[in-house]
Amino acid sequence: MSILERLLLLVVLIVSVIAGVFILAHVPSSSKFIAVDKNPIKEVINIDLPDISSPFNDVISRLSMIPFSKRERKMVAVVIENHEDARPHHRGLDSALLIQEHMVEGFISRFVALYDLRTLPDLIGPVRSLRPYFIDSVIPLSNVFLHAGGSPDAILRVEGDPNLTSINGLYLDDRAKKDPEYFRLPGIPAPHDLFTGKETVGEMIPLDSSPFAWPPYKTGGASSASGASSIRINFFNQDHNVTFEFKRSSGDYKRINGGTISPTKPRNIIILEMPIKGEGEYGRLDIDAVGKGPVMLFRSGRFYHGKWVRSNLNKWFEFEGLNGEPMVFAQGQAWMMMVPDLGRVSWE
């Protein structure tokens, strides 16, 4: 072995040792959450959770959800609250492959987070109620819904369709089970304290649920386009307005909602114009998730304009650029927002 080869080998060994020391120094310690449900039917449960503030844990979670190639995945949809009092308690969003943000009554938003069943986190929430257009916007990616109650038409929909699986946290209050599927975290005011996760709900998810090829859109390198490092969505209320800030060093976006920084770091922001058809009882919205309309895609610090098309509920959304070609997404998490008017969106 020549002197040069020996020097190169020595450099490789030194780098490997330094990397190993760094990883061991940042392995997160476990912290204990004792989740106590206020319903006396349920029992106290213990859940071991990683330290969510660890930078090493953040890197691992992002790597695990990068879809390097299309493959079959069994997906689970969880309805997550986005009331301003719930935002500091968001858990599990960083592990989602796709997060949909829908408008609800009061013209605030609510999330539907999609997870690969194999990597479902142990803590997800706060869990909230279901709406029919949540179901329409998610299928056929997932036919399994984790939620806590819902509007009357949403409940009729999931209970009346044999192809849909509903795991309703409110109905489970009446079941005497050894291990509750949903649990409440102490110190968080109700109704923002209801959570779920793989350890408690995993066994209830049917193993024969339909798989779906992931990702459901084309991925690849970014083509030339106008720059957009900051995106703003106007909800006409400073407590609910949303800003996405592109971080060039990591290629993802920081989401700020009413002053609260989200725990997730999406690499794609896709915003669909989806008009509100009307309002029903208690101001519940009527939104059609089938049709077509304009769409904006932000990725890699760039902006692309196009249209979304969806012919029926058996097909998912198609996103096309102005040239008619499929929009190309970055690999990694996608944040999908539905707004009644793209005039709410500005960028620079």
Mean pLDDT of 228-242: 93
Reference 154, options 334, 39, 282; nearest CA is 282
pLDDT score of 236: 80
Contact 142, 77 (CB under 8 A): yes
pLDDT score of 147: 96
Quick check: do 30-214 and 223-347 share a fold? yes
Q: How do residues 248-286 score in pLDDT, each as one tens digit?
A: 999 999 999 999 999 999 999 999 999 988 887 778 888
State phi, psi for 290 to the nearest 5 degrees. Answer: -115, 140
Mean pLDDT of 283-305: 95
Q: How do residues 10-43 score in pLDDT, each as one tens digit?
A: 655 565 655 554 444 444 433 223 233 333 323 3
For domain 223-347, give the fold: YerB-like fold (3.50.90)
Is the predicted pLDDT of residue 151 greater than 60, yes or no?
A: yes
Contacts 24+ apart (CB under 8 A), 205-211: 205/76, 205/117, 205/144, 205/165, 205/167, 206/144, 206/165, 209/74, 209/75, 209/117, 209/142, 209/143, 209/144, 209/165, 210/74, 210/140, 210/143, 211/72, 211/73, 211/74
Confidence category of residue 207, pLDDT binned at 50, 70, 90: confident
User: Token digits for 155?
Assistant: 């409940």
pLDDT cut 90: percent of the chain above it: 66
Please state the pTM of the whole predicted model.
0.80
Checking phi first, is residue 107 left (phi over 0); if not, alpha (psi -120 to 50) or beta?
Answer: left
Q: How do residues 129-146 score in pLDDT, each as one tens digit?
A: 999 999 999 999 999 999
Is the predicted pLDDT of residue 166 greater than 50, yes or no?
A: yes
Reference 119, options 167, 78, 166, 179; nearest CA is 78
Confidence category of residue 63, pLDDT binned at 50, 70, 90: very low
Given CATH 3.30.70.360, say whether it is the number of domain 30-214.
Answer: no
Q: Domain ranges for the chain, please list them.
A: 30-214, 223-347
Mean pLDDT of the chain: 83
Contact 193, 265 (CB under 8 A): no
